[in-house]
Each structure stands twice: as structure tokens, then as C-alpha cells.
């Protein structure tokens, strides 16, 4: 049978394999109609006749066997037909119709469902999660057809330990839990909030490769304070979904959560529990209560904060400033809920660590605004979670307690305006105009609330802004005139996260627990040094370094559609691009190695994998002097590599590449990767106890080649991952093209015979 796990990466850490394919056949203990009613095993008409006989299915299905590929094509045609037939209909109606057709597939055939999502994640992500999931949750009682996940309620008190064993999966890696008290920015939706854990986990499967048979969405139903739901007959009668009672509070509430958490970690002690969309007081309370005892996190406090902080640091780079300048940024945060306070807390920690100052000092650069205006220490009934970020009125001359957002922006002139308020349209034309006076030449605006109807920006005004920007009429119409103003929505940040997860599935999975993601610029020595400090502080050592950062060193005149063939005659290469290519591809990797080798030396598993290219083979460099220098393995040094690259850049600048016999096609890229290979040999000789190799992963579909490659990202990642996981004592100093070791210089194999440049495949 098709196995759901086949879609997941297989080269993961031996200690935690979130998505490892199950070896051998898929054993099915069910028979007959029970299989057809189980979406984990059901293949619909895809069961071959032999399986129909063995599983008691003959006669229960139409006689024709339809292949997986045909089923896939049939579903996509049905989906496209739906799109055609709903053109011109209200957006909410169309979104729900798309969700329904996907949900029906999910209820029937999970393997096909996840294949569809994986192949079309960019199109379907807005349907299975935000913004459509908010609409789904609001209407879940009417949409409910069959249960998915588990439901624990106040009525189950004392029974949860036995209930947890009702879940059929023997192993669960990822649990998303909600109590429905604050679904997105929509408020208390009670048990209808189950749509959030379901959608979130579908994203984890499709975009990050989590095994779909090892996930569990959970609703913790402790009642609802939503009066509309309490009076809704569908909520309680027709579908009998939610408890008809006000929410539990205080110790009663915590006792229910305690019992659930104890039950989960008793059965699955290594599972991760993600707390999602809890109202603020319980979000902070449960995080502090469990974070040191169990493997859990709160997505609204920590997940949103991580993405937002990456964006905030990115804006510093976009302003052309060094990363350390983050401590000088003035940031106005709109929204004092769990997300806003979570972002503030993480940003303050980052600023404190970067500056060396206390968190009290670091807080001075942040201003917190909620529905009642600027939060100061004069606020009556100030929430304890927001109190640490309240301003002293004596330190903010010209501003008062409760000052409006517009007043704050005009007075503070912030570098960044960060929206986590859940109030749609609060970033209106007047606020955007006030940002014109920002102390930054490139102010940034983040509108991050979910769903899109609650984003702080107003679509019509934003479209008008962009239209005027394109026409060059910003100043006459009163808009901010900064040519690089950043208007960033949470939808965009979520999409970027999904793209990264899709592009680097192994990396994302391994970072779920207990890893970290650290953003850096390999061309910036300070950024690389900060990474070394971070690893030293967090882990004390490093096991594996994979140098994968790279650019092509050219731009394509006129662009190209993704996947369309490229015309090499339209490749544009100039001196600046060549210099940047060498700085990132070669010197960036060298900088990383020099910084991190001291940490690698503290490990028992010292691996360096340099991602190279087949272009790096020395027969692609016609300059005889450069070829001889780079192929002389016995006498090769970093200084000699530098000399070759300096000579190349000098000739490039003088326009004499062809005259001096340098490559004229992808010249900088070729030299950068040849230098990378040479550096691999230098390191392997200098550190004989390490395992250091370079590899061409093949022609992979990435942005570097405008997605014109042949291999998928997963296929391309297989070779570097394989080398990174080689056992101790494996060959070092070799160059691989995918799985095969090759000579650095094919023209003269003997030139490499003095070292270990032989054709061999390392031990698995």
C-alpha cells in the first residue's frame, strides 16, 4: 500500500525521526468496509485486485482500478472546475467551497490529500489555514461531518489518563492544543476552534514533512463565554459539539489542563505540545507552568515572536545598517495581547543581549499601544503581563497615558510600526502619512493580525498607496515618500516560513525539537561571529557544519517564469555581482569554517560539508596558471587561492577575462566553487581527524537557477545530508557529484593521486 510516510524526509537525526518512512510493508489489521471508512488506509478505487481479495474489498468498490496519479488528476480537475464555476461569487463563499472539497478528500483518503497539499502548498495554504480557517471556525458547527483529533472536556475530569489511550496511533510527535478561548483575532469560539489545530498540523505535514500518522489535534473544551454560541441550537443540539456552560476559571481551569498534560506526557513522553490561541492570561500562565517540565511551547507568544524578530532584524539590514543597530531602533507595538507581549519580550531579550545592557534599559526603545492608547505606569487596572513594558510618563515628554496611535507615531517617529492588535484597518492613511516623518529613511510596517479581515492595514488604502507609488505620485497625494517603505503582513511572513520549510524540510523538522534557527549574513564577519557566540552559549560545541549559502553571480535580463528554460545569452554578469558571488560563495564559507572549527573540535562527530557544483571541476577553468595552482594539492594554501581570485577579479574589472583565458560563462560562480573545492582539500589536510568533503548535489530547482533545475529540493538535499551523517573514519577531502566521488581535475587524474582523490563511495 501507499504509505503516508513516503512523503517525508528520511535522513534525519537518529535520535528523533519525525518523518522517517516505515520500513517494509504497511500492515493493515482491518478488513472490508472498515478499511474504506478509514482515511489512513483507504485508497478508494486505487486498490489493485490482489489487495481487494486479501483485504475483503472485492465487490465493495467499482471494478475499475484507478491509479494514484489518475486519482490525483481527477481531484485537481474537480478543484479547477470549482474555481471556474465560482468566479464572481463572494470571496468567503468561494473560500469555504474550496475548504469543503479539500476536507472531503481529507475525510476519505489522507495519502492523496497530503500529496495534493505538498504539490500545491502555495495555493492551498490559504485554504487549509489562514485566512480561510478563521471562517471555518466561525461556522464549524454547521460544517461538522466527522470528528478529527481528540476532544477533552471538563466533564472528562478524572478520566483523561485512560482517554488518551483511545487514540489509535502508538507514537505521536506533534500535538497542537487549543481551548478555543481566543481563536485568531475572532475571540472565544469554544469547541469550534478545533479547526485551528487541524489546519496548523496540516501545514506542518505539507510544508515541514511531519509524519501525518504521528500528529494529534486536540480541543480542550472548558465551556465558552461567547453568548452567541451559548444561544446557538446548532452548537449544542444538532451537532452536539460544545459544552453548554460558561468557561471554567481559576484552579478549576488549571486542574483540567494539568490532567491533560500529565496524560499526554505519560503516554508520549517525547511529544511536543503546542499551545495555540489561548486567551492571554492562560497563555502566559500555562507557558510558565509547564515550559521547564515538559516539551511544549506557546505559538502565539513564542512562535509569532520568533518570526517577528526575524523580520525586525531583517529591516535593519534593509535599511543598510549593521545588525547591531537594532538596539537603536524605535519600535511601536500595537496590541497588548499574548502575541504583542510575546514579540516585545523576545525583542527586548535580543536587544539586551546585543547591547550588553539590562532588559530594563533595552525596553526604552519600545512603545506599547493597546485599544486604550499608549500604555504607561499610570494605567489603572494594568495587566501584570503588560506592566513590564509600561512607560514612565516622566520619560516620554509630550505623550500622555492613553495617547492615540497617531499621536504616538507623530511624536516617537518610529523606525518600525508593528501591528498585533486584531483591529482591522488601524493603520489608516493618516498613520501611514505620519510614518513619513520616521527617523528611518526606510521605515517598516508590519500588519500581522489574523485573519486578513483583522489585519491592521486597509486593503483599499494599501492598494491606492502602491498604485500611487508606481505612478510616482506619493508626495502630491500625501503618502510616505520613502522609496523602500516596507509593508509586511503576517500572511507574507507565514508564506515565507512555509517556503523555507518546503525548501529545507530536513532542516525544519530537526529544528522542531530541541533546535534553533539563527539568522545570519555569511558575508558579514560580525554576523558570523555572533553565530559562533550563540552556539557556544547554547550548546558548547558543534557536530556538523554544512556550507550551503550561495548565489549565482548573474541576473537574467528580462527575468523568466519559474521553471521556464533560461536563455544563456541573457545572463548579465558584472564586476559587482562577481565580487559579491565570491564574497558569499567562497569567503562566506571560509569565514564560517574558521569561526566554527574551534566548536567542532570539541565534538566527537566533526563533519564539514561544502556544497559545491560540477562547474567547479578544474577543466572548466581554461587559465592554465590558475588550474595548476588549484590542482597542486600538496602545496595548496589559502593565500594561493586568494591570489587566484584577486587576479580573476582584476582581469574581470579590466574586461580581459577572455584574453586571460578565464571562464566567460558563469565565471564568478565557477571560480567561487573551484575555490570552495580547493579550500575543502586544504581543510582536510589541516584537520585529518575531521570528515570534510564537498559535493555537487545536482541540478536542483532553486531560486539560484530560477527553478529550472531537474531535481526536487528533497532529492538535492539527499547528498549533503548523506555526507553529514557519515560514520567516523569515513573518507575525507573528496569531491562528490551527488553519490559518486570524482576527480577535482578530470583531464589529469594522476594529478590528484598523491592525496585521497580516488573514485570510491563512502560507507553508509
How is 199-255 classified by DSSP, letter by letter? HHHHHHHHHH---GGGEEEEEEE-----HHHHT-HIIIIIS--S-SSPPP-HHHHHH
**Global pTM?**
0.58
Per-residue model confidence (pLDDT) at position 398: 80
Per-residue model confidence (pLDDT) at position 727: 82
- Please say whether the beta carbons of 295 and 513 come within 8 A: yes
| Of 390-394, 463-467, 667-671, the least confident | 463-467
CA distance 726 to 741: 14
**Does 472 have pLDDT greater than 50?**
no
pLDDT band, very low/low/confident/very high, at 486 (cuts 50, 70, 90)? very low
Give residue-wise pLDDT tens across range 521-543. 888 888 889 888 888 887 788 98
| Of 26-40, 243-257, 505-519, 665-679, the least confident | 505-519
- Please say whether the beta carbons of 663 and 670 come within 8 A: yes
Per-residue model confidence (pLDDT) at position 703: 67
**Does 227 have pLDDT greater than 60?**
yes
Per-residue model confidence (pLDDT) at position 517: 57
Per DSSP, 107 falls in state: H
Per-residue model confidence (pLDDT) at position 755: 27
Per-residue model confidence (pLDDT) at position 20: 42
* Residue bearing cell 516622566: 394
Per-residue model confidence (pLDDT) at position 385: 85
Q: Is the peptide bond before 514 cis (omega within 30 degrees of 0)?
A: yes
Give residue-wise pLDDT tens across range 276-329. 999 988 998 999 999 888 999 998 888 888 888 988 888 888 777 888 889 889
CA distance 491 to 184: 13
Per-residue model confidence (pLDDT) at position 488: 35
**Does 474 have pLDDT greater than 50?**
no
Burial degree of 221 (CB within 10 A; 0-12, 13-18, 19+):
buried
Q: How many CA within 13 A on the CB side of residue 128?
A: 30
**Does 476 have pLDDT greater than 70?**
no
**Does 506 have pLDDT greater than 50?**
no
Length of the chain, please? 764
Per-residue model confidence (pLDDT) at position 742: 72
* DSSP per residue, 596-648: HHHHHTTSSS-EEEEE--GGGSGGG---HHHHHHHH-TTT--HHHHHHHHHHH
Per DSSP, 146 falls in state: S
Residues facing residue 556 across a β-bridge: 571
**Does 384 have pLDDT greater than 50?**
yes
Mean pLDDT of 500-510: 37
**Does 248 have pLDDT greater than 90?**
yes
* Residue bearing cell 504509505: 3
pLDDT band, very low/low/confident/very high, at 718 (cuts 50, 70, 90)? confident
- Please say whether the beta carbons of 200 and 276 come within 8 A: yes
Sheet with 444-447, side-by-side order of all strands: 373-374, 366-370, 331-334, 416-419, 444-447, 486-489
532 grid coordinates: 559562533
**Does 357 have pLDDT greater than 90?**
no
In 12-38, which positions are buried (b, 16+ CB within 10 angstroms) versus exposed (e)?
beeebbbbbeeeeeeeeeeeeeebbee
Give residue-wise pLDDT tens across range 583-615. 999 999 999 999 999 999 998 889 999 998 888
Domains contained in the chain, CATH given: 70-294 (3.40.50.10380), 302-499 (3.40.50.720), 520-752 (3.40.50.720)
Per-residue model confidence (pLDDT) at position 706: 65
Per-residue model confidence (pLDDT) at position 324: 84
Per-residue model confidence (pLDDT) at position 410: 92
pLDDT band, very low/low/confident/very high, at 558 (cuts 50, 70, 90)? low
Chain-centroid distance of CA 494 in Å reads 7
Cα diameter, the chain:
85
pLDDT band, very low/low/confident/very high, at 464 (cuts 50, 70, 90)? low
Give residue-wise pLDDT tens across range 73-115. 999 999 999 999 999 899 889 999 999 999 999 999 999 999 9
Torsions phi, psi for 177 (to 5 deg): -120, 135
320 grid coordinates: 543598510
Query: Phi/psi zone of residue 509: left (φ > 0), alpha (ψ -120 to 50 degrees), beta?
Result: alpha
Of 387, 384, 306, nearest to 349 (Cα)?
306
pLDDT band, very low/low/confident/very high, at 485 (cuts 50, 70, 90)? very low
CA distance 510 to 498: 15
**Does 185 have pLDDT greater than 50?**
yes
C-alpha distances out from residue 319 to 284, 323, 352, Å: 34, 10, 21
Per-residue model confidence (pLDDT) at position 450: 64
Chain-centroid distance of CA 673 in Å reads 28
| Of 97-106, 408-417, 746-755, the least confident | 746-755
Mean per-residue pLDDT of the chain: 81
Per-residue model confidence (pLDDT) at position 564: 57
CA distance 357 to 125: 41
604 grid coordinates: 566527537
* Residue bearing cell 532553486: 702
End-to-end CA distance of the chain: 28
Per-residue model confidence (pLDDT) at position 11: 34
Of 561, 560, 582, 727, nearest to 666 (Cα)?
582
Mean pLDDT of 644-672: 90
Residue numbers annotated as active site: 129, 200
C-alpha distances out from residue 305 to 204, 312, 340, Å: 18, 10, 8
**Does 13 have pLDDT greater than 60?**
no
Mean pLDDT of 139-161: 91
Amino acid at each position: 500500500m501507499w504509505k503516508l510516510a513516503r512523503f517525508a524526509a528520511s535522513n534525519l537525526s537518529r535520535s528523533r525521526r519525525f518523518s522517517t518512512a516505515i520500513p517494509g510493508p504497511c500492515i493493515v489489521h482491518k478488513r472490508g468496509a472498515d478499511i474504506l471508512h478509514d482515511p489512513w488506509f483507504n485508497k478508494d478505487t486505487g486498490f489493485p485486485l490482489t489487495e481487494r481479495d486479501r483485504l475483503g474489498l472485492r465487490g465493495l468498490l467499482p471494478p475499475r482500478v484507478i491509479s494514484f496519479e489518475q486519482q490525483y488528476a481527477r481531484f485537481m480537475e474537480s478543484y479547477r472546475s470549482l474555481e471556474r464555476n465560482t468566479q464572481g461569487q463572494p470571496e468567503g463563499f468561494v473560500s469555504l467551497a474550496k475548504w469543503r472539497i479539500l476536507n472531503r478528500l481529507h475525510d476519505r483518503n489522507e495519502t492523496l490529500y497530503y500529496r495534493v497539499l505538498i504539490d500545491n502548498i502555495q495555493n492551498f495554504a490559504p485554504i487549509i489555514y489562514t485566512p480561510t480557517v478563521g471562517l471555518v471556525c466561525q461556522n464549524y458547527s454547521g460544517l461538522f461531518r466527522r470528528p478529527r483529533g481528540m476532544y477533552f472536556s471538563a466533564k472528562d475530569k478524572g478520566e483523561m489518563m485512560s482517554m488518551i489511550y483511545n487514540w489509535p496511533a502508538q507514537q505521536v510527535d506533534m500535538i497542537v492544543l487549543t481551548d478555543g478561548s481566543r481563536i485568531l483575532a475572532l475571540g472565544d469560539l469554544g469547541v469550534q476552534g478545533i479547526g485551528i489545530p487541524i489546519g496548523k498540523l496540516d501545514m506542518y505535514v505539507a510544508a515541514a514533512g511531519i509524519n501525518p500518522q504521528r500528529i494529534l489535534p486536540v480541543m480542550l473544551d472548558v465551556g465558552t463565554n461567547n453568548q452567541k454560541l451559548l444561544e446557538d441550537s446548532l452548537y449544542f443540539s444538532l451537532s452536539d459539539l460544545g459544552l453548554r456552560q460558561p468557561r471554567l476559571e481559576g484552579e478549576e481551569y488549571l486542574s483540567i489542563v494539568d490532567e491533560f498534560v500529565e496524560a499526554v506526557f505519560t503516554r508520549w513522553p517525547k511529544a511536543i505540545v503546542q499551545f495555540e490561541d489561548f486567551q492571554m492570561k492562560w497563555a502566559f500562565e500555562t507557558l510558565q507552568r509547564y515550559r521547564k517540565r515538559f516539551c511544549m511551547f506557546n505559538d502565539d507568544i513564542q512562535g509569532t515572536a520568533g518570526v517577528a524578530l526575524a523580520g525586525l532584524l531583517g529591516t535593519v539590514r534593509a535599511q543598510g545598517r549593521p545588525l547591531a543597530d537594532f538596539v537603536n531602533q524605535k519600535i511601536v507595538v500595537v496590541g497588548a495581547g499574548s502575541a504583542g507581549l510575546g514579540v516585545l519580550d523576545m525583542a527586548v531579550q535580543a536587544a539586551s543581549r546585543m547591547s550588553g545592557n539590562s532588559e530594563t534599559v533595552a525596553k526604552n526603545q519600545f512603545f506599547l499601544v493597546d485599544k486604550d492608547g499608549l500604555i504607561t505606569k499610570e494605567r489603572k487596572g494594568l495587566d501584570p503581563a503588560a506592566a513590564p513594558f509600561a512607560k514612565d510618563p516622566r520619560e516620554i515628554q509630550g505623550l500622555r497615558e492613553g495617547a492615540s496611535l497617531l499621536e504616538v507615531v507623530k511624536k516617537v517617529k518610529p523606525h518600525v510600526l508593528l501591528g498585533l492588535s486584531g483591529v482591522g484597518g488601524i493603520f489608516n492613511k493618516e498613520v501611514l502619512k505620519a510614518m513619513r516623518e520616521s527617523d528611518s529613511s526606510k521605515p517598516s510596517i508590519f500588519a500581522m493580525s489574523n485573519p486578513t479581515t483583522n489585519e491592521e492595514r486597509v486593503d483599499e488604502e494599501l492598494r491606492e498607496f502602491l498604485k500611487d507609488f508606481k505612478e510616482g505620485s506619493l508626495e502630491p497625494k500625501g503618502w510616505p515618500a520613502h522609496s523602500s517603505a516596507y509593508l509586511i503582513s503576517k500572511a507574507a511572513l507565514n508564506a515565507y516560513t512555509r517556503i523555507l520549510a518546503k525548501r529545507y524540510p530536513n532542516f525544519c523538522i530537526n529544528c522542531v525539537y530541541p533546535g534553533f534557527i539563527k539568522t545570519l549574513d555569511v558575508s558579514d564577519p560580525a554576523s558570523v561571529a555572533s553565530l559562533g557566540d550563540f552556539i557556544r552559549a547554547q550548546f558548547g560545541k558543534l557536530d556538523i557544519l554544512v556550507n550551503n549559502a550561495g548565489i549565482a553571480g548573474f541576473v537574467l535580463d528580462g527575468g523568466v517564469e519559474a521553471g521556464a528554460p533560461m536563455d544563456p545569452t541573457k545572463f548579465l554578469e558584472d564586476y559587482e555581482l562577481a565580487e559579491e558571488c565570491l564574497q558569499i560563495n567562497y569567503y562566506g564559507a571560509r569565514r564560517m569554517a574558521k569561526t566554527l572549527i574551534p566548536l567542532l573540535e570539541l565534538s566527537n562527530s566533526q563533519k564539514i560539508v561544502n556544497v559545491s557544483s560540477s562547474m567547479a571541476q578544474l577543466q572548466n577553468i581554461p587559465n592554465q596558471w590558475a588550474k595548476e595552482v588549484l590542482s597542486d594539492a600538496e602545496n595548496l594554501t589559502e593565500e594561493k587561492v586568494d591570489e587566484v581570485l584577486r587576479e580573476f577579479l582584476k582581469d574581470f574589472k579590466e574586461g580581459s577575462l577572455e584574453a586571460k583565458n578565464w571562464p566567460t560563462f558563469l565565471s564568478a560562480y565557477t571560480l567561487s566553487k573551484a575555490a570552495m573545492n580547493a579550500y575543502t582539500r586544504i581543510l582536510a589536510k589541516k584537520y585529518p581527524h575531521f570528515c570534510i568533503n564537498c559535493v555537487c548535489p545536482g541540478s536542483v530547482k532553486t531560486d539560484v537557477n530560477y527553478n529550472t533545475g531537474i531535481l526536487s529540493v528533497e532529492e538535492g538535499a539527499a547528498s549533503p545530508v548523506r555526507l553529514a551523517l557519515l560514520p567516523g573514519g569515513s573518507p575525507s577531502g573528496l569531491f562528490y557529484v551527488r553519490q559518486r566521488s570524482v576527480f577535482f581535475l578530470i583531464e589529469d587524474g594522476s594529478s590528484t593521486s598523491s592525496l585521497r582523490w580516488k573514485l570510491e563511495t563512502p560507507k553508509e
